[in-house]
Each structure stands twice: as structure tokens, then as C-alpha cells.
Amino acid sequence: MTQPESVNAAPARDAAALPDVSHLVVGVLGGTGDQGRGLAFRLAKAGQQVIIGSRTAERAQAAADELGLGVRGADNATAARESDIVIVAVPWEGHAATLAELRTELAGKIVVDCVNPLGFDKQGAYALRVEEGSAAQQAAALLPDSRVTAAFHHLSAVLLQDASVDRIDIDVLVLGEDREATGIVQALADRIPGMRGIFAGRLRNAHQVEALVANLISVNRRYKAHAGLRITDV
Amino acid sequence: MTQPESVNAAPARDAAALPDVSHLVVGVLGGTGDQGRGLAFRLAKAGQQVIIGSRTAERAQAAADELGLGVRGADNATAARESDIVIVAVPWEGHAATLAELRTELAGKIVVDCVNPLGFDKQGAYALRVEEGSAAQQAAALLPDSRVTAAFHHLSAVLLQDASVDRIDIDVLVLGEDREATGIVQALADRIPGMRGIFAGRLRNAHQVEALVANLISVNRRYKAHAGLRITDV
């Protein structure tokens, strides 16, 4: 918040302290969907090497060709194996099955879950109850050999994919148990102009971050917006 | 988000369309706690008539005297009866019992629940599971004759109470089923310099708004901040 320095003399978020991630290869599982394609576009545009993963290599390649920017396409297993950081942007319906199949390929990788388990009815969106607590916790349970984080939940797929939008001024809440991994994911978010990666807790607090998308959908409906979040005073 | 007008040509939030609430009396149940006292201070400073409610009139009066600004103190039942809008800022432990007792006094009133059901352990804060889904839904279940809304969850009690802080630049997410009531609560938030009341959905989506305070606590710990939210593109 805007406030006198006396209230907060401590150093705020120090972007320079985050690691250099420019050399890391980013895979996007479900990269042919709106959210995945939008993230792949933004990260590739920022100079990151990106591999789009899909169930079939052909569909992934077609999406990659459309994006250009050096983006490659591959089946999900190949994309996972050849990436350092793997963003999971599959539909919630396919979340558990996709991850269970890729346990070996994802071992040792930083996994970034951005899936929002939502239901929809006449009154709009609502959070689904997830047995493990959240999509991110489900991922952590299915991928015990991976470094599972959660991030990139609140991005508008419309804005991500709109090439006429140069900056997306929002904050990306990054959650996880592994401080090095969350730092890398924060740094990845920071690569996209306008975005900041903000550490926002452990995976046990991922549910509400995922579910908040239902509220952003209500905001979007009421205000005809593409709403996102900024964290104040950081 | 900052973006070309073409992306969002629709009117954003129109503060002028919100009702005039300057004449409404605001009660704050649990007004002797940090959050309640902070809200009472900010609203009174903004020119609102405020009554602090507490279990005993004496404690409420002592807190009111400390605040000045014309704030009155009363027992919870009297505060509820004499107010148009009643903010519920009691500890989660006393939430259900306090509201159940005040059903008659709160009938017909706009009730604003700002309670965050959280647990704490060595790893920090986490969301408690609430039978009804959320504190706000519990309030709605216990107060069928009231107009229950949820708002003011993400405010730092430290900043609210710090008289040297003139503005608190954050957004207040307002939830509820009753559009007139949520509009009044939005307008109330707008009275405090720097704050905006943003409609953010129905009460079934209150849980994640309440629980997000656990994430803000993580943010505060990591960044030595008093974090809040801004909604972008609105």
C-alpha cells in the first residue's frame, strides 16, 4: 500500500535476488488450450525456450507453428522429458490421469500447476471440492519425485493471447514447499513484462488461490473486465 | 491491467453509480478487537456514524472513547439494533454463537461478515474447514432475516489503526446475493480514502476470499509487508 516509509522500512520484494532462468527450457502440458497457448506465447516472446506438449505430437506441432518464436511441439511425455520447468495447463478433468502417466518423465523437474478446478452453472463459476485439497496438492501427491509448485492461476487467456497487448500488469502468486523452486518460478513470471512473481505460501494454501478464479470471473462479468491481482505493499 | 482501449472499451467500475451511504449508521460487532477497532476508526474518520459493539457496554464504551470521532459504544445487541449496516468482526471462535443470539436485532439489517476462519501452526496460517462453506455462509444460515454480505477481509489491522497512514490503497472484495446490499457495502468501502469496493461474486464463493488471508500472511512474512489486493483492469 502507499504509505509513509516509517510503516514499512523493510526491503520489499527484491527482484534482483531471483535466479537467472533465461537458459531454462519451459514445457507447457496442455499447451494447445487457451491458457497454455497464451503462457507459451508470453514466455517465448520473453525469450524463453518453450516446448508445447499435447496428447499428440501433431496437434502440439500445429500450435507451435502458429506461435512461431522458436516454440517447439511434442507429445506430453517428450515435452516433459526435454524441459527443465513444466507448466501443467491441462483441463481439470484430465489433470490426475495426465500427471499419473508422466511421473517418470517429470521426476526431478520443477512442475508448475496452474489448474483451477471450477464448476459452472447458471449462477456462474464455483470452486470444486478436490479430495487432496487442491489441484496443486493432487499434483504433489501424484508426483512425489518432482518439485511441485503452483502459479499462473489468475491470468486472462484473452490477454495472454492478444499480440497487441505488450504488458500484462499483474502479480503471479507462487506457492510451494521448496524455496529454490518457488524462486525459479517467481523469476519465470518476472520475465513477462508487467508480471511479478510473488511468493504466497505453501501448497496447503493453494486451494483458495485456485478457487479465487471463480471470483475473478464474477468481477469480469460485472465490470466487463479481464481482472487480475496486484499485491499491495510488496 | 494497463492495456490498449480496444481490449476493454466497456465502462469499468463506476463509483458514481454507487448509492450515498453517508447517512447510514455502521455498527461493528467485535469492535474492540484489532480489526474491528481499525475499521471503526477508518469509517468514523471518513465521516460515518459508528457504534462499536462488544459483549459488555463498558468495554465498547472504553474503545469508543479511545477512538473519539463521535464513535459510540454499546453492547452487541444495542449496537446491532441501532445500526443500519452491521460489520461482524468477532473472532471466528465466537462467530456462530454471537450471530445466533442477535438474529432478532439483525433482522432487516445489512450484515457485513469480515471474519477469516484460520488456523495457525509452526508453518504459519491455513484455512479452516467450515461446515457451511465459509464464515459468510454460516452467517447467512444463522441470519435468514438479514441481508448478509461479505467484505473487508484483506485489510491490515496494523495499517487500519495507524493514524499516521492517510490512505490505504487496496480493494475490498464485496460478496453477496442481494445487489442493493452489495452496492451499499461497496459504497461504504469507497468512503475510506484509497479503498474501492469491488463486487466479487456470490456467498458460495466467499470461502476462498476468507482463506486468502492465509496467503497474505505468508506474503507479509516473506516480504515484511502489510499486503493487500488490488484488482487490475477494473
pLDDT score of A12 more than 70 = no
- B contact test, residue of A123, A171, A219 with most B CBs within 10 A: A219
For residue A45, give every residue at least 6 positions away whose Cβ sits within 8 Å of its Cβ, in sequence order, or none: A69, A192
Helix axes A135-142, A92-101, angle to 10 degrees: 20
Say if residue A37's pLDDT is above 60.
yes
Q: Where are the domains of chain B?
A: 21-223
Angle at B151 between CA A133 and CA B68, to 5 degrees: 135
- ipTM for this prediction: 0.94
CB-based contact (8 Å) between B130 and chain A?
Answer: no
Query: For A183-221, how does the pLDDT look when each residue is reduced to its tens digit (9 = 90+)?
Result: 999 999 999 999 999 999 999 999 999 999 999 999 999
Alpha-carbon dihedral B196, B192, B103, B76, rounded to 10 degrees? 160
Task: Using the predicted structure, report yes or no on whether residue A7 has a pLDDT greater than 50.
Answer: no
**Mean pLDDT for the stretch of residues A27-55:** 97
* Mean residue pLDDT across chain A: 94
Average pLDDT for residues A21-49, to the nearest whole number? 97
pLDDT value at residue B13: 80
* pLDDT for residue B12: 64
pLDDT at position B16: 81
Query: Which regions of chain B are under pLDDT 70?
Result: 1-12
Can you name the CATH fold of A21-223? Rossmann fold (3.40.50)
Q: Which three cell numbers stand for residue A55?
A: 496428447
Residues A89-117: what's their mean pLDDT? 97
Nearest CA-CA distance, residue B98 and chain A, Å: 26
Identify any residues that bridge with B228 across adjacent strands, giving them in sequence order. A232
Q: How far is A102 from chain B (nearest CA, A)?
A: 29
- For A15, the closest chain B residue by CA position comes to B223
| Chain A residues inside the 8 Å CB shell of B4 | 164-165
User: What pLDDT does B8 receive?
Assistant: 42
What is the per-residue pLDDT for A45? 97
Question: Which residue do the cell numbers 523469476 mark?
Answer: A187
CA dist B79 and B27 (Å) reads 6
Q: What is the pTM of this model?
A: 0.94
